[in-house]
């Protein structure tokens, strides 16, 4: 049996899940950061406050720490809505979601309530530092 496991889609388009679904290939998406909530990844606003994926009402743009997100037009409270709409469409073609902590799972569910009814598994990293 074939399966597609998406670890990340940075620098990629969001059509891979749709193409795999057309071929009846099951798709697993692993969340290891908050990229699909906000392309800044860290969920930190311009004042270094944690936003949990809900844009703060303060003035200013959130820091763009990575080159792939620096070209995004006004993100905070604007383009982020376009982003989340497209991520929601992406999620429609995912069969199974995985993350490493309940905290991350809950942040994703808060931002995308559709995930509450999806197959979602927590698999810890298994690292002991």
Using one digit for the tens of pLDDT, what is the confidence trace for 21-38?
Answer: 999 999 999 998 999 999
- Give all strands of the β-sheet with 27-31 in edge-to-edge order: 4-6, 27-31, 96-99, 119-122
The strand pairing partners of 6, in sequence order, are: 29
Torsion angle of the four alpha carbons 101, 127, 96, 12, in this order, in degrees rounded to the nearest 10: 100
Q: Is the pLDDT of residue 126 over 80?
A: no
**Pairing verdict, β 27-31 and 96-99:** parallel
Where residue 128 falls among pLDDT bands split at 50, 70, 90? low
Q: What is the pLDDT of residue 127?
A: 65
pLDDT at 52 over 90: yes
Average pLDDT of span 108-129 = 87
Which tokens go with 112?
């995308």
Decide which of 39 and 1 is more confident.
Answer: 39
Q: What is the pLDDT of residues 67-113, one digit of tens each?
A: 776 677 788 888 999 999 999 999 999 999 999 999 999 999 999 99
Which has more confidence, 103 or 124? 103
């Amino acid at each position: 049996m074939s399966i597609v496991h998406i670890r990340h889609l940075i620098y990629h388009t969001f059509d891979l899940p749709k193409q795999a679904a057309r071929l009846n290939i099951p798709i697993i998406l692993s969340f290891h950061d908050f990229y699909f909530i906000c392309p800044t990844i860290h969920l930190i606003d311009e004042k270094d406050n944690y936003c949990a994926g809900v844009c703060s009402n303060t003035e200013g743009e959130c820091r763009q720490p990575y080159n792939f997100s620096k070209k995004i037009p006004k993100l905070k409270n604007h383009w982020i809505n376009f982003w989340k709409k497209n991520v929601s469409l992406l999620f429609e073609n995912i069969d199974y979601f995985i993350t490493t902590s309940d905290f991350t799972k809950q942040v994703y569910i808060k931002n995308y309530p559709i995930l509450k009814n999806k197959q979602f598994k927590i698999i810890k990293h298994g690292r002991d530092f």
